[in-house]
């Protein structure tokens, strides 16, 4: 795969906010959710324009599943389709490795456009990792791919709810087997992660003085070393180093008790050590309205908090709430980025 030229921040655009939306796995719910979300674009997103990347016939077909007149949307809303042809015909819910590279072509087009300043942000519908790997392209996930394509040495996955004081959970490690997590944690790596969270909450979310609560890795945050030493040897030194740089990061706290309203009410983000430590709580609280944001990139990228939902594809029963929230957040982040 070819990397984009630089990890320098993308040029800032003038004029209306312009958002690219990748429709993701064609056998999943991405195409129909895109149609459903954009059917009400004028009501949700003032002065924003949308470029939908995907197969135009597929979009029209799947819009019918959610009772959306796609031609009317294109005629009346600030929405245009940039056609990218499928490699093979699609049946809802039926994966085909022949379309793995099609999915990557959508993502590559969005990334290249955002890096060049053509788009203010990109929103990605869910894709199927197995289809891309079956097409012969090693692929771990959106987050890692975006980092590689933009030459960004470190990015941070953050999922978030919506509302005036949303729950936000960032991850110190992402798509790793649990057995590999301890070795992936380092003082320098955690400091870099905290720096990215602090910077992006200020720049893209308008949080003036971010407060970050950090979990331990082990049960009871290691119980003073009796249940593991990562809290003593890695996490606490990282917090001290971050504090010396003016970052308000506190912990390490036991993860089993941290996620309570009385602890979270003054927090802007929680940093969890691994995927299934932080995200179950977040998804329990926000599923269907939560979003995924990649921090640390030179571009703005948001996504949904769910997968391809192959069992719902083409049925009209999938909920577009998370995609609507992802678009809301992308528009808001792009506006903050223009003034910060």
* Annotated binding-site ranges for substrate: 142-143, 283, 292, 301
Residue 15: CB partners within 8 Å, gap ≥ 6?
Answer: none
Q: Which long-range contacts (CB under 8 A, 24 or more apart) does 312-319 make?
A: 312/29, 313/27, 313/28, 313/29, 313/32, 313/92, 313/93, 314/32, 314/62, 314/65, 314/92, 314/93, 315/65, 315/92, 316/32, 316/65, 316/66, 316/67, 318/29, 318/32, 318/33, 318/66, 319/288
**Where do runs of H (alpha helix) occur along the chain?**
30-38, 41-44, 56-65, 70-76, 100-115, 129-134, 142-149, 181-184, 187-205, 230, 236-244, 255-258, 261-264, 275-286, 321-339
Task: Determine the Cα–Cα distance for residues 136 and 302; give it in Å rounded to an integer.
Answer: 26
Q: Which residue has the tokens 């009772």?
A: 67
Task: Determine the Cα–Cα distance for residues 28 and 313; give it in Å rounded to an integer.
Answer: 5
Here the tokens at position 332 are 């808001």
Residue 330's SS3 state is: helix
Task: Determine the Cα–Cα distance for residues 143 and 137; give it in Å rounded to an integer.
Answer: 15
Closest residue by Cα to residue 249 from 219, 228, 272: 272
Q: Which residues are annotated as a binding site for a divalent metal cation?
A: 175, 220, 275
- Edge-to-edge order in the sheet of strand 211-215: 79-83, 48-54, 17-22, 121-124, 301-304, 291-295, 156-160, 168-171, 269-272, 211-215, 248-253
């Amino acid at each position: 795969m070819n990397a984009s030229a630089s990890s320098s921040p993308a040029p800032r655009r003038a004029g209306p906010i312009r958002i690219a939306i990748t429709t993701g796995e064609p056998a999943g719910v991405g195409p129909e959710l895109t149609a459903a979300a954009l059917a009400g674009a004028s009501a949700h997103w003032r002065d924003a324009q949308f470029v939908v990347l995907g197969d135009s016939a597929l979009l029209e077909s799947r819009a019918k599943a959610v009772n959306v007149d796609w031609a009317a949307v294109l005629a009346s809303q600030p929405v245009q389709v940039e056609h990218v042809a499928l490699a093979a015909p699609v049946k809802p819910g039926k994966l085909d490795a022949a379309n793995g590279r099609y999915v990557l072509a959508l993502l590559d087009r969005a990334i290249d456009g955002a890096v060049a300043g053509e788009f203010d942000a990109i929103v990605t519908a869910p894709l199927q990792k197995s289809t891309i790997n079956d097409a012969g392209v090693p692929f771990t996930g959106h987050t890692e791919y975006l980092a590689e394509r933009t030459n960004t040495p470190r990015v941070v996955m953050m999922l978030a709810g919506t509302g005036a004081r949303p729950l936000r959970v960032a991850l110190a490690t992402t798509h790793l087997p649990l057995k590999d997590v301890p070795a992936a944690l380092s003082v320098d790596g955690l400091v870099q992660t905290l720096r990215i969270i602090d910077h992006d909450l200020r720049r893209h979310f308008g949080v003036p003085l971010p407060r970050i609560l950090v979990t331990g890795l082990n049960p009871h945050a290691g119980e003073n070393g009796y249940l593991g030493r990562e809290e003593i040897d890695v996490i606490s030194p990282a917090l001290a180093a971050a504090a010396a740089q003016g970052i308000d990061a506190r912990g390490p706290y036991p993860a089993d008790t941290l996620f309570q309203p009385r602890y979270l009410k003054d927090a802007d983000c929680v940093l969890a050590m691994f995927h299934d430590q932080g995200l179950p709580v977040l998804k329990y609280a926000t599923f269907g309205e939560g979003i995924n944001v990649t921090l640390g990139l030179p571009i703005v990228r948001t996504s949904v908090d769910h997968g391809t939902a192959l069992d719902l594809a083409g049925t009209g029963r999938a909920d577009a709430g998370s995609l609507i929230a992802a678009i809301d957040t992308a528009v808001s982040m792009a506006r903050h980025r223009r003034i910060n």
